[in-house]
Amino acid sequence: MEERKINNFLLNIFNVINEEKERNYVSEITILTIKSLMPSREEIGTRIDYERFKKEIELWYLYRSGENSSLLNSIDFSSKDVYLNTIDDSLYIRIAPIVFSNKNWDIINREVLKNILYTTGNIEAILEGLLISKILFLSANNDENIISKLKDEIISFSQIDFLDKYSEFFRVPVKEYSKKFIVDFERNRIEIINLLNGISSNKFKTLKESLLVIEKNILKDDFQIFSKGLYWMKNNIYLDEKESLKFHKDLCHYIWSLNRGRIDPDILTIEKYYLPDIFSFNEGDEFYHSLLNKCKVLKKENMLEGIKVYLATKSGIYVFKK
C-alpha cells in the first residue's frame, strides 16, 4: 500500500468535511479512532485500544461539532432501540484508519466489525461496513478482482459464525432485537448478494456508489463522502494542499507507519490515565492531559447556558462546552 493512497482518501475527506461544519463530528471521530490505534507486540498488525477509544469518545462529547444519535447513545446508552436500529454514518470514514494501518485482511475484518458494534448493532450497517472496508482494502492494494472477492466475502459470511465470534461485542444482546435478528440478517445478506449481481436495491447507498466507482469510475456530486474518497484514491486525485491540514497529513503518515510496523507500541502505551477536569483551569493555565497532551487555556467564558473553554493543544485549538 502506498502512502499517497492514504493521503488521497483521508486528506481529501478531511478537507471536504472541514468545509461542512455540521458534519465535523465525522472528522473528529475518525481522528480519535486513529489516536486509539495500537500496534500489536506479537505480529505486524494494528488494533483498537478500547479503553482509550471509550475515553476519547467521552472527551469528544465536550468538544463535538455536530452529532448523531448513535454516537451520543454509545456514551450514555440511554436507548437500546437506537443501538439496534440506527445507522451510525461516522463508521464509513472511521473504519478507514483500521484498513489502512493493516496488511492482514483477517485483522481488518475483526477490528472493523468490533468497531462498528461499539456504536451500532444495525444489521445493514454491519454488512455494508464490512464490504466497504473490503473494497477499500482491495482498492488500496490495486486488486483487480474486487467484485468476485466481495461476493466470496458476503456469501461465506455466516450469521452463526458471526454471532459466535462477535456476540460479546454487541452492546445490547441480540435476543433483545425487536424483530427476528436471524431472519433480518439473512434478508440483508441476500439483498447485498443480489446487488453485487446487478439487481437494484433501495438500501446500502454507500456500497452502491462504491460499486459504481470501482466498476465504472463514476463520481457524482451527491455521492456519500466515502464514495468520493474512493474515487479520489482510485484516480490519484489530491484536491488541495492546505496548511491547516498539516496535522491531518501527519496523521496519515502515522497510519502508513503503522502499516509498515514502524511504531513501537511502548511509545503509545498509557500506563495510567491522567484526565483532569478541563473546566477547573483558568485562562493562561497550562496542564497535561493523557488524551490531549500538553494544554493551555486560551480563553474561558461563563455564559447563561454553561462554560466554554478554548484550549490550545499540539493538534490544534479545541472548544469545550458544558
pLDDT tens column, 81-102? 999 999 999 999 999 999 999 9
State how far the Cα of 165 lies from the Cα of 180, in Å rounded to an integer. 19
pLDDT at 21 > cutoff 80: no
Average pLDDT (111-127) is 97
pLDDT for position 303: 84
Alpha helices in the chain (DSSP H): 3-6, 12-18, 24-35, 50-63, 69-76, 80-85, 91-100, 105-119, 123-140, 146-155, 159-166, 181-196, 205-216, 225-234, 246-259, 265-268
- The pLDDT tens digits for 123-180 are 999 999 999 999 999 999 999 899 999 999 999 999 999 999 999 999 998 888 877 8
Whose cell is 454509545? That residue is 74
213: nearest Cα among 139, 305, 105, 311: 139
- The rounded distance, in Å, linking the Cα atoms of 212 and 110 is 26
Q: pLDDT tens-digit profile of 183-199?
A: 999 999 999 999 999 99
pTM score of the predicted model = 0.95
Burial (CB count <10 Å: 0-12, 13-18, 19+), residue 133: buried
On whether the CB atoms of residues 30 and 88 are closer than 8 A, the answer is no
Is the predicted pLDDT of residue 22 greater than 70, yes or no? no
